[in-house]
Amino acid sequence: MQWASLSEFFAMGGYGFYVWGSFGVCAATMVAEPLLVRHRQKMAIRAIRQSQDL
Amino acid sequence: MINWFKFSAPSTFYPLAGKLIPIFWTLAALFAAVGLYIGFFVAPTDAQQGEGYRIIFIHVPASWMSMFIYCVMAFWALMGLTFQTRLSGMMSSALAPTGALFAFLSLWTGALWGKPMWGTWWVWDARLTSELILFFLYLGYMALHAAIDDPRRADRAGAVLSLVGVVNVPIIYFSVTWWNTLHQGASVSLTKSPSMASTMLWGMLLMALAFWAYTIAVALMRARSIMLEREGNTEWVKHLPDVKEAV
């Protein structure tokens, strides 16, 4: 392992902005996508239930 | 012999997908955990690029997946046009947004890698431009599909677009050998021994497996929603436990 401290890890040898900008957006979108799909699933089920009640 | 056509019926596919989704989420989490550990704590600092090279652990897997998903969409397009199965179009439209996401991530991480290493966020060279076209092909597929009201016609139009657009995939892949570009050559080659440290290679492969499992999990989830949206009036949907259960 090449990190002496946590701040060194976050600094990424001066490339912190680029490395965390990449991993951050990647993580955020890959968390958001399944949440959006789960919302879509709930909406689809709700629409079916409403059409059955009518 | 397994009767594959049996699984192409949404009524059979829906519960099967429901069983597979948690398996692929678990696989994605495991591969990502090990891949990120190797990527940040085991793989050594690069001699030329310092720590900045670590973007490779998502840039290359995202780029691979963006091309692979388009090929899978083209496969489903061919199946749909040949056998007229309902599942094909549903799978294509379930995959398109995830493919678009990976194409975007490929461009985004590429820009953030290009700036410190090449001194520019973007160049109009063959590799970058063809990947941008791939991103637009995904968006085009989604827009075309959304613009046509009849789902079967939308599936057919989308299938034609996927099959025409798939020629772009080998162009992206071979762009670095066909043209003189700023982008470096292929990171992994089947014919040459790998040019990078084996820990770097392993980190990259594990992240690619994580993205692959993620894609299957999220695409199956979306395919299930599409099935409910399209087949809401059918008997099999009305008898699904998901639909019958009280909220």
Residue A27 included in any domain: yes
Please provide the average confidence, as pLDDT, over all residues in chain B.
Answer: 91
**What is the rounded (10 degree) CA torsion for B169, B175, B176, B177?**
110
Which 88-127 residues of chain B touch chain A by CB within 8 A? 97-98, 101, 104-105, 108-109, 112-113, 115-116
Does residue B117 lie within any of the structural domains?
yes
Closest C-alpha among B45, B34, B62 to residue B197:
B45
The count of domains in chain A is 1
Query: Rounded to the nearest 5°, which phi and psi values hold at A29?
Result: -70, -35
pLDDT tens-place string over residues B2-12: 566 677 788 99
**Domain limits at A30?**
6-53
Q: B150 in a domain, yes or no?
A: yes
CA A39 to each of CA A33, A45, B6, B11: distance values in angstroms, whole numbers, following the listed order: 10, 10, 29, 21
B26, B36, B51, B56: which to substitute to probe chain A, counting the most A Cβ within 10 Å? Answer: B51
Q: Does B230 reside within a domain?
A: yes
The interface residues of chain A toward chain B in range 1-54, judged by CB-CB distance below 8 A, are: 1-3, 9, 12-15, 17-19, 21-23, 25-26, 29-30, 33-34, 37-38, 40-41, 44-45, 47-49, 51-52
Residue B14 lies in a domain: no
In a domain, A21, yes or no: yes
Which of the four pLDDT bands, split at 50, 70 and 90, describes residue B189? Answer: low
| Within-domain flag for B86 | yes
- Indicate the pTM of the whole model: 0.92
In a domain, A1, yes or no: no
How many whole angstroms separate alpha carbon B26 and alpha carbon B29? 5
CB contact under 8 A, A19 and B232: no
- Asked, for residue A49, whether it belongs to a domain, the answer is yes
Kindly list the residues from chain B whose CB atom is less than 8 angstroms away from the CB atom of residue A22.
Answer: 55, 58-59, 108-109, 112-113
Residue B3 lies in a domain: no
pLDDT digits (tens, 9 = 90+) for B120-175: 999 998 899 999 999 999 999 999 999 999 999 999 999 999 999 999 999 998 88
Q: Which ipTM did the prediction report?
A: 0.93
Is B119 inside a domain boundary? yes
CB contact under 8 A, A13 and B50: yes
pLDDT of residue B30: 98
- Type of residue numbered B175: S
User: Is residue B2 a part of any domain in this protein?
Assistant: no
DSSP per-residue codes, B202-222: HHHHHHHHHHHHHHHHHHHHH
The count of structural domains within chain B is 1
